[in-house]
């Protein structure tokens, strides 16, 4: 079984390739990278004309919701959504029900993923038992069962001693501790970024400081322990600064940012970008759309710019979606009561391409942020297309226009503020282990 | 000039002309409330549902009287708790109410944005009767009416709003309304009760009561929502009352012809001294009377069929 | 466009109406004139002026806005702006003369009567109009009529008054 991808523009930052190459795949692995124009006998051919051929994207941060919340998403629907978004590997967070804090849950997830999933699934184990923030989870057991990192994502470890223990202990397994950084005392019932918009809308705010305090603490603890710390969904300008300084000092810290944080600001809570409001009111705006309620919240324009800058300069290592599917019953309710989070797998590429179009990122940098960098953070032998590597590939046309249509999402949930938005970038093929699992 | 909108969700999106229209209409409705037969047949056959997710005898009664004086059928529905607790979406609740065929829904909710949610999904006109800490437009309109009656004008006046600005929808609606009508607004209260970047709404901020009311023509006192505060942003009610309570002593530094307003219900002895609340400069009862006229005007102006056709 | 009353004709018609109202009313002590907004109001004031001149007697004049009582509110694009209703004395046990410019379908007068009943219980309600253009849809007739001018459905009988329209005339368009 041979497959050749011809006429495309190959970008593979790990192997420093950026140009017209054909990719030959055999037995699920990359066999060779050929100068354009070669003919290969008896191979299936994919014509990638006008397209970028890249290592499959790797998402460090998704919620597959299974087990426990299958009404929001399942491993099957979530991995289909990933494939449609060009992702060939996803790391799924531990806040399932039951929580992924023991080997049997990890094994269950991996078994399900093998049976029903379409892309590679790498579980993140809970940092504390039951995500309760009190006792360490059995990291050794989790790691052995297949977890690639540890996090209480969705909750923050408020107890600094526990965080220190977690970092120290995780070091043994060379797995990163992923910090969802929000000081809950300061956030205190907040539902959006604290600032003028929250004041006007009368919504309780979450100050940036609530995030920065925990980032500072965790960086300091990473320095003390020498452990690997990864900051999830960085959203504040000060947070970017903190990570930058830490990196300069040689502290082992990495960070990710989400497409929504580098695209939208808190103003979206008051008024959608034109054309994207699902239910425009008489003024055209659609305030209080619960699909703008996200944790950490959509921040100010200053913060948004800092995130973009951080991605460009390498302070932020990866783009991750924080794909957080929620059903109508979680979202078609009061803003104060609605669940935090939006789906992201199927919009990440086109939103990232906006940064390329606006010349904030090069195409190569964008691919790096979506492939080799996240692979390294969780220690996956993926993210590159060298001979012998697993043939996880995405082929996308970066200039094809389309409109984001949540009704067409593969995800079970449609909670996105981007519906109706005109964007560019269409995934043509997603290939996992040499097998085409998604194609337009 | 017409009120060419389906809903009244807040003052922020109203134009000055629309505000004037409502005030003028309310003025003509005042007369009806002085008659022996306090009723006109104007909204006969229309159904107004008072949908209250939060207790409020005063506002609900005011809307109920307003609706009844216009001959509308007024039904009160109270719902407690959040949708989450009920396992029903807010939309389910709303659709159920819509199925009863109301023409207007007067909505009070503890969460900001619920009237907007309903307005964008239901055919009935939605009137915001207070949503969380966001807006309470009919309160601001009745306040404008009361100020204009007392002072003969609104433009150029200095108005000080004192108290828990953070949690006050009355403050927000009044800031929008007074700014649109050309008044100058100062907010005063403990720094812990002044929300972030409120200056951008076009107000001056003072954390000193006396300085905050020194040049005021109108002082609006806000109710301290004792029940709402966890980890109170002030140490004790006693200290609050000493620093920010309006009493005769504090009023000494104010203009001699200053008038005092309060959206009610008054916490006597906390934010306002009984002597002041019942004093000659107090407009508190005029506010209540004008509330009926304003709500009649709003019900009347929004119940024309055009607004609905526009949806 | 045709003028059916000029300024002088109108003077005469109003004089005649004032005289007839006095006759119809019996006692001037219980008479109240109530003008229906908009043009009934200046008409009522002029009639009161004539009575003052001839009988040396001040007759109270009120203003009535009938919009809140209209039967076609739900058919209008927008609800009309409401004018003030002001009657300087209680209408109980009074002879109320409603005054309006044109009597057509009778619906306005029906509204006006409803409105009056909400204000009190007059002994009797009578109607004075400057022009009766016929075309009634309700069993209502003028007790005092300036002129009769039968007009077709497509025609618009318009009363202009100096107070509201700069000059006195009645035209048919």
Active-site residue identified among A22, A59, A322, A392: A322
| Total tally of structural domains belonging to chain B | 2
Claim to verify: residue B102 and residue B206 sit in the same structural domain: no
Structure tokens at A383: 């993210």
C-alpha angle A283-A284-A290 in degrees, rounded to nearest 5 = 105
Report the pLDDT value the prediction gives residue B227, as an integer from 0 to 100. Answer: 58
Report the pLDDT value the prediction gives residue A43, as an integer from 0 to 100. Answer: 83
Q: How far apart are CA B69 and CA B293, in angstroms?
A: 10
Higher-scoring residue by pLDDT: C83, B301: B301
Would the pLDDT of C56 be above 50?
yes
Task: Cite the DSSP H helix spans in B245-281.
Answer: 248-251, 274-277
Q: Is the dihedral of CA B284, B287, B288, B289 positive or negative?
A: positive
Cβ contact B140:B166 at 8 Å: no
C-alpha angle B125-B128-B134 in degrees, rounded to nearest 5 = 145
- Secondary structure (3-state) at C27: coil
Q: B113 vs chain A: nearest CA distance in angstroms? A: 6
Extents of the domains making up chain C: 2-70+82-172
Q: Dump pLDDT digits (tens) for A269-326.
A: 998 765 555 554 444 457 999 999 999 999 999 999 999 999 999 999 999 999 999 9
Q: How confident is the model at residue B268 (pLDDT cuts 50, 70, 90)?
A: confident
Report the pLDDT value the prediction gives residue B226, as an integer from 0 to 100. Answer: 67
Query: B301 and C77 in contact by Cβ < 8 A?
Result: no
* Segment holding B223, helix H or strand E: none
Would the pLDDT of B154 be above 80?
yes
Report the pLDDT value the prediction gives residue A284, as an integer from 0 to 100. Answer: 47
Q: How confident is the model at residue C146 (pLDDT cuts 50, 70, 90)?
A: very high
Structure tokens at C33: 């004139």
Query: B41 and C114 in contact by Cβ < 8 A?
Result: yes
Residue A170 domain boundaries: 56-383
* Segment holding A366, helix H or strand E: helix A363-370
Report the pLDDT value the prediction gives residue A285, as an integer from 0 to 100. Answer: 56
- What is the pTM for the complete model shown? 0.91
Query: B172 and A202 in contact by Cβ < 8 A?
Result: yes
In a domain, A17, yes or no: no
In this complex, the residue of B5, B111, B169 whose CB is nearest that of residue A334 is B111
CATH number of domain containing A135: 3.20.20.140
Report the pLDDT value the prediction gives residue C153, as an integer from 0 to 100. Answer: 87
Claim to verify: residue B258 and residue B176 sit in the same structural domain: yes
Q: What is the mean pLDDT of chain B?
A: 91
In a domain, A31, yes or no: no
Report the pLDDT value the prediction gives residue C66, as an integer from 0 to 100. Answer: 92
B205 touches chain A (CB under 8 A): no
Residues of chain B with pLDDT > 70, as a percent, come to 94
Claim to verify: residue B157 and residue B216 sit in the same structural domain: yes
In this complex, the residue of A199, A333, A337 whose CB is nearest that of residue B196 is A199
Non-local (6+) Cβ contacts of B85 within 8 A are none
DSSP output for A208-241: HHHHHHHHHHHHHHHHHH---EEE-S---HHHHH
Q: Dump pLDDT digits (tens) for A107-158.
A: 999 999 999 999 999 999 999 999 999 999 999 999 999 999 999 999 999 9
Q: Which of A116, A132, A102 is nearest to A64 (CA)?
A: A116
Q: How far apart are CA B265 and CA B284, in angstroms?
A: 10
Q: Which CATH number fits domain C2-70+82-172: 3.20.20.140, 3.40.50.720, 3.40.50.2020, 3.30.830.10?
A: 3.40.50.2020
Q: Dump pLDDT digits (tens) for B59-88.
A: 999 999 999 999 999 999 988 766 666 677
Q: C74 vs chain B: nearest CA distance in angstroms? A: 6
Longest Cα pair distance anywhere in chain A, in angstroms?
67
Q: Which of A426, A275, A294 is nearest to A353 (CA)?
A: A426
| Total tally of structural domains belonging to chain A | 1
Residue B85 domain boundaries: 16-134+288-302
Give mean pLDDT, residues B151-165: 97
Report the pLDDT value the prediction gives residue B309, as an integer from 0 to 100. Answer: 35
ipTM of the complex in this document: 0.93
In a domain, A5, yes or no: no
Claim to verify: residue B187 and residue B210 sit in the same structural domain: yes
In this complex, the residue of B83, B133, B196 whose CB is nearest that of residue A195 is B196
Cβ contact A46:A75 at 8 Å: no
Claim to verify: residue B190 and residue B109 sit in the same structural domain: no
The reply to whether A405 belongs to the active site is no
Q: How far apart are CA A370 and CA A355, in angstroms?
A: 13
Q: How far apart are CA A256 and CA A237, in angstroms?
A: 13
Place of tokens 């109009």: C129
Residues of chain C in contact with residue B293, where contact means CB-CB under 8 angstroms, are none
Are B and C close enough to touch, i.e. 3+ CB pairs under 8 angstroms? yes
Q: C114 vs chain B: nearest CA distance in angstroms? A: 9
Report the pLDDT value the prediction gives residue B166, as an integer from 0 to 100. Answer: 95
Structure tokens at C74: 């739900």
Q: Dump pLDDT digits (tens) for B195-234.
A: 999 999 999 999 999 999 999 999 999 998 765 556 788 8
CATH number of domain containing B184: 3.40.50.1370
Report the pLDDT value the prediction gives residue B34, as an integer from 0 to 100. Answer: 87
Tell me which residues of chain A have a pLDDT lower than 50. Answer: 280-284
Residues of chain C in contact with residue B71, where contact means CB-CB under 8 angstroms, are none
Q: B76 vs chain A: nearest CA distance in angstroms? A: 21
Are B and A close enough to touch, i.e. 3+ CB pairs under 8 angstroms? yes
Would the pLDDT of B180 be above 50?
yes
Report the pLDDT value the prediction gives residue A276, as an integer from 0 to 100. Answer: 56
Would the pLDDT of C138 be above 70?
yes
Would the pLDDT of B43 be above 80?
yes
In a domain, A343, yes or no: yes
Structure tokens at C55: 């009988």
In a domain, B114, yes or no: yes
Report the pLDDT value the prediction gives residue B310, as an integer from 0 to 100. Answer: 34
Query: B37 and C118 in contact by Cβ < 8 A?
Result: yes
Task: Cite the DSSP H helix spans in C56-161.
Answer: 107-119
- H, E, C per residue of B151-204: HCCCCCCEEEEECCCCCCHHHHHHHHHHHHCCCEEEEECCHHHCCCCHHHHCEE
């Amino acid at each position: 079984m041979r497959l050749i991808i011809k006429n495309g523009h190959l970008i593979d930052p790990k192997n420093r390739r950026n140009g017209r190459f054909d990719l030959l795949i055999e037995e699920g692995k990359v066999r060779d990278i050929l100068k354009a124009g070669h003919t290969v006998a008896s191979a299936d051919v994919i014509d990638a004309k006008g397209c970028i051929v890249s290592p499959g994207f790797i998402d460090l941060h998704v919620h597959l919701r299974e087990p426990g919340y299958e009404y929001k998403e399942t491993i099957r629907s979530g991995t289909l959504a990933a494939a449609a978004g060009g992702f060939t590997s996803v790391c799924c967070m531990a806040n399932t029900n039951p929580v992924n804090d023991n080997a049997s849950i990890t094994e269950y997830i991996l078994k399900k993923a093998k049976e029903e999933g379409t892309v590679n699934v790498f579980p993140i184990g809970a940092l504390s038992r039951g995500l309760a923030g009190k006792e360490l989870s059995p990291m050794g057991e989790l790691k052995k069962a297949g977890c690639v990192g540890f996090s209480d994502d969705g909750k923050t470890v408020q107890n600094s001693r526990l965080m220190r223990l977690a970092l120290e202990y995780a070091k043994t397994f060379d797995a990163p501790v992923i910090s969802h950084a929000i000081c809950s005392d300061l956030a205190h019932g907040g539902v959006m970024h604290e600032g003028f918009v929250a004041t006007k809308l009368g919504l309780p705010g979450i100050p940036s400081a609530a995030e920065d305090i925990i980032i500072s603490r965790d960086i300091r603890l990473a320095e003390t322990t020498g452990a690997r710390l990864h900051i999830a969904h960085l959203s504040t300008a000060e947070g970017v600064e903190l990570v930058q300084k830490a990196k300069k000092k040689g502290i082992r810290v990495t960070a990710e940012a989400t497409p929504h944080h580098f695209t939208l600001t808190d103003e979206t809570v008051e008024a959608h970008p034109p054309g994207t409001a699902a239910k425009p009111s008489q003024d055209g705006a659609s305030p209080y759309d619960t699909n703008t309620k996200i944790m950490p919240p959509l921040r100010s324009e200053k913060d948004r710019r800092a995130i973009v800058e951080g991605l460009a300069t390498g302070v932020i290592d990866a783009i991750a979606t924080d794909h957080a599917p929620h059903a109508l019953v979680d979202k078609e309710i009061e803003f104060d009561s609605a669940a935090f989070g939006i789906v992201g797998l199927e919009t990440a590429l086109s939103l990232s391409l906006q940064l390329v179009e606006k010349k904030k990122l090069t195409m190569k940098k964008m691919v790096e942020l979506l492939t080799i960098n996240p692979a390294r953070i969780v220690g996956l032998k993926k993210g590159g297309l060298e001979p012998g590597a697993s043939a996880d590939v995405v082929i996308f046309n970066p200039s094809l226009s389309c409109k984001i249509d949540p009704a067409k999402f593969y995800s079970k949930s449609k909670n996105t503020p981007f519906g109706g938005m005109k964007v560019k970038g269409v995934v043509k093929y997603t290939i996992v282990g040499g097998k085409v699992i998604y194609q337009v | 000039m017409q009120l060419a909108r389906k809903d009244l969700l807040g003052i922020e999106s109203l134009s000055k002309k629309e505000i004037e229209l409502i005030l003028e209409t309310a003025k003509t409705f005042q007369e009806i409330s002085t008659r022996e037969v306090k009723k006109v047949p104007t909204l006969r056959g229309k159904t107004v549902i008072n949908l209250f997710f939060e207790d409020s005898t005063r506002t609900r009664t005011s809307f109920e009287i307003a609706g009844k004086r216009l001959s509308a059928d007024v039904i009160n529905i109270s719902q407690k708790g959040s949708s989450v607790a009920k396992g029903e979406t807010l939309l389910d609740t709303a659709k159920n109410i819509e199925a009863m065929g109301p023409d207007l829904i007067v909505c009070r909710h503890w969460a900001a944005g619920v009237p907007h949610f309903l307005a964008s999904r239901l055919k009935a006109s939605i009137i915001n009767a207070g949503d969380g800490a966001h807006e309470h437009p009919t309160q601001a309109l009745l306040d404008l009416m009361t100020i204009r009656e007392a002072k003969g004008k609104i433009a150029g006046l200095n108005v000080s709003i004192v108290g828990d600005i953070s949690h006050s929808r009355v403050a927000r609606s009044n800031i929008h309304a007074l700014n649109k009508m050309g008044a100058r607004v100062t907010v005063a209260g403990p720094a812990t009760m002044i929300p972030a970047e409120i200056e951008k709404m076009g107000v001056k901020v003072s954390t000193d009561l006396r300085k905050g009311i020194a040049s005021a023509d109108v002082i609006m006192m806000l109710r301290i929502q004792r029940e709402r505060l966890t980890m109170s942003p002030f140490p004790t009610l006693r200290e609050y009352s000493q620093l920010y309570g309006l009493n005769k002593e504090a009023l000494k530094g104010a203009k001699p012809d200053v008038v005092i307003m309060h959206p009610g219900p008054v916490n006597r002895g906390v934010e306002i001294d009984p002597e002041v609340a019942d004093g000659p400069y107090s407009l508190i009862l005029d506010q209540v009377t004008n509330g009926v006229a304003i709500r009649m005007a709003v019900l009347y102006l929004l119940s024309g069929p055009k607004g609905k056709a526009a949806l | 466009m045709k003028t059916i009353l000029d300024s002088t004709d109108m003077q005469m018609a109003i004089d005649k109406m004032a005289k007839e109202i006095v006759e119809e009313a019996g006692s001037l002590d219980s008479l109240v004139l109530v003008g229906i907004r908009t043009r009934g109001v200046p008409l009522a004031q002029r009639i009161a002026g004539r009575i003052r001149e001839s009988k040396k007697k001040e007759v109270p004049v009120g203003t009535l806005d009938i919009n809140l009582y209209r039967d076609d509110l739900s058919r209008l694009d927008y609800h009309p702006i409401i004018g003030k209703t002001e009657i300087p004395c209680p209408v109980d046990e009074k002879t109320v003369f409603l005054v309006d410019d044109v009597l057509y379908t009778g619906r306005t007068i029906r509204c006006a009567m409803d409105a009056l009943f909400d204000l009190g219980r007059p002994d009797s309600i009578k109607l004075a109009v400057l022009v009766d253009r016929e075309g009634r849809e309700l069993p209502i007739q003028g007790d005092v009529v300036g002129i009769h001018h039968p007009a077709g459905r497509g025609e618009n009988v318009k009363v202009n008054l100096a107070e509201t329209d700069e000059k006195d005339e009645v035209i048919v368009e």
